[in-house]
Amino acid sequence: MIARLQRACLFLDVAAIAAYAKSLRDQVNAHPWRPMLRAWEQQANRRDRDTYQTDRKAFMSEHAELHREFLSLSGQSNQLAAIARAVRHQRRRAVDGFLGIRTGYFRVRNRRWQSRHFWTPESSSHADTAVTEFERLADARVSIETSARGDWFYVKPFNADARQPLPEPSHVSAAGLVPIYGADISSSMVHIIAVLLGRRGDEAVVSSGGFKDGLAAAVPKVADAVPEFRAPDSDPKQRRKAMGVLQNIPYGAGYGAMAKGLRDDPAAYGTGWSNLRAFIEQGQAHDAYVKILADMRAEWLGACRALVEEAAKRDAYAGVSFVDPFDGAVVRWHTAGRARVELGSLPLTISAPLGKPRGSEYPVNYFGVERPVGRDRRTRTPKLHENGTTVPLGWRLDAKGSLSNMLAPCLIHTLDAAFAGCVIELLAARGLRDFAIVHDCFLVPADDDATDILHQAITDAGRPWFLSLHHVYDMFDAYLGKHPVYGERVRQWRQSWKQRSDAGNDWPEFHLKPETTQAWKIEPA
């Protein structure tokens, strides 16, 4: 599989990379944050340290949104500047202004495929706000809306004789290249949970492609019915985008963390997002789309956490093991809890595992790490949290990285990667070589033959992917088969899956949405 992915060759538009880097650099230089901070520093009272710190904290709080915007722009600019330098150093290898590149791949902990080098994930697929006139014809004006991904990456056509549905700039066609076409699986995580749990009604709603729209429409409806939830100040586009964040609810995303993420980017999501708990837990009584999220959270997250509890009872060192649905590899998740340890008087620390080792293994971080707080925190050692116990005064629970937190989302990511693997195998079997993936987004040459192959591969992948789900049910049955609550649930999941498998004519169909790479508009002159 990795060999198939590594055969792909994409071409970077050298001039486009340089232009984007310059544009970001100009935006950073023109941003008002630096002059504002400089002006404040010049008039600040530096003689009294406490007053200075208090005033500076108030200033930073007042302009926090502007500061975040500047940091984001600055980070993007620095990253792209490094890429532009690397491209510039290789410019002698470029042909007709395009630099051919390849990448290696590896599989990360959640079983997804990750590129090792600069590749499509490092470019944004968000549409540029400006629509640039591309060409003026006798009776029409052709304009283009692109994303960074669509501007930077090009590819050789799969079939040079196939119809090219999109025109391309002259320097692209002169190099014998075409743009890339992207197709993204819409609401794939929620769809996978619906399929896995046998929730056919929910699956039908999600596969129709209107799930985010339904959730967005629920916001004012729930606000009218639930006094504890106030509708945010956002336009329909911002509200719909925010629903992409809320779709993480079924596998354990925290309400507070999601609300903070929404508030931290008001340009994308609007302002006033708060009390998402009330939106979900009380709103489910007033809206069917909200109820889908709430029910999935209760069933899927509950089962995953019950599985972790059972695994912890069996063996403090073993973690959770299962068979990867795609390639049959045995996967074991057994991350240790860790704490920073200072190396004597040296200004160095190491991340050391917690607990008493058993051979070469350390106890698994099932439920989080209790970390000391307060003045004497440096003299106390963090310890693994035991399920069902209360965190004592002077300590805080750090659940980040715990198996209880990671199992629900990582299993869904594993199934997402398994579906991508099925699609990749079909693309390769049908002769397509130059393609790329970004999780559940597939990028192929923008000619009719390649796009037809992609759409058919995504449709055909539903069957082998669905049949492979028995590995997931085997895992849940091994841990929860005798559980008083979830044992029967797991048997119901498997029975629903078996009936559908035996029928042999009703495979999952995922809803596709085109990714913005290059969107062309032809209007009357």
Q: Is 33 helix (H, G, I), strand (E, B) or coil?
A: helix
Query: Taking 80 as the threshold, does the pLDDT of residue 217 lie above it?
Result: yes
> How does the average pLDDT of the chain come out, rounded?
88
Helix ranges (H only) for 251-301 are: 255-263, 266-269, 276-277, 288-296
Find, among 361, 446, 517, 368, the residue nearest to 164 by Cα: 446
Residues 471, 134: Cα–Cα separation, whole Å? 51
Q: What is the pLDDT of residues 61-71, one digit of tens each?
A: 899 889 988 99
Q: What is the pLDDT of residue 290?
A: 92
Work out the pLDDT band at 147, boundaries 50, 70, 90: confident
Residues 113, 106: Cα–Cα separation, whole Å? 6
Q: What is the pLDDT of residues 82-138, one digit of tens each?
A: 999 999 999 889 888 999 999 999 999 999 999 999 999 988 877 764 445 555 556
Pairing assessment for the beta strands 395-398 and 369-372 based on DSSP bridges: antiparallel
Q: What is the pLDDT of residue 521?
A: 63
Most distant CA atoms of the chain, gap in Å: 80
Sketch the domain layout of the chain as residue ranges: 9-99, 125-330+402-524
Q: What is the pLDDT of residue 167?
A: 52
Q: Residue 50, Cβ neighbours under 10 Å: how many?
A: 7
Q: What is the pLDDT of residues 11-51, one digit of tens each?
A: 999 999 999 999 999 999 999 999 999 999 998 888 888 89
Residue pair 404/393 in contact by the 8 Å Cβ criterion:
no
Kindly report the length of the chain.
525
Query: What element of type H or E holds 403?
Result: helix 403-429
SS3 readout for 56-76: HHHHHHHCHHHHHHHHHHHHH
Does this model's pTM top 0.95? My answer is no
Cα angle 252-254-255, degrees, rounded to a multiple of 5: 125
Q: How far apart are the first and last CA of the chain?
A: 49
Q: What is the pLDDT of residues 265-322, one digit of tens each?
A: 888 888 888 889 999 999 999 999 999 999 999 999 999 999 999 999 999 999 999 9
Q: List beta partners, residue 182.
A: 443, 515
Q: What is the pLDDT of residue 146?
A: 79
**Token pair listed for 194:** 């619906």
Backbone angles phi, psi at 346, to 5 degrees: -75, 150
Between these two residues, 395 and 253, which has the higher pLDDT value?
A: 395
Work out the pLDDT band at 54, boundaries 50, 70, 90: very high
Q: What is the pLDDT of residues 442-460, one digit of tens each?
A: 999 988 889 999 999 999 9
Q: What is the pLDDT of residues 385-431, one digit of tens each?
A: 998 889 988 999 999 999 999 999 999 999 999 999 999 999 999 99
**Token pair listed for 137:** 């014809």
User: Residue 103 to residues 7, 132, 307: CA-CA distances in angstroms?
Assistant: 9, 31, 37
Q: Is 169 helix (H, G, I), strand (E, B) or coil?
A: coil
The percentage of residues in the chain with a pLDDT greater than 90, rounded to a whole number, is 58
Find, among 293, 270, 273, the residue nearest to 283 by Cα: 293
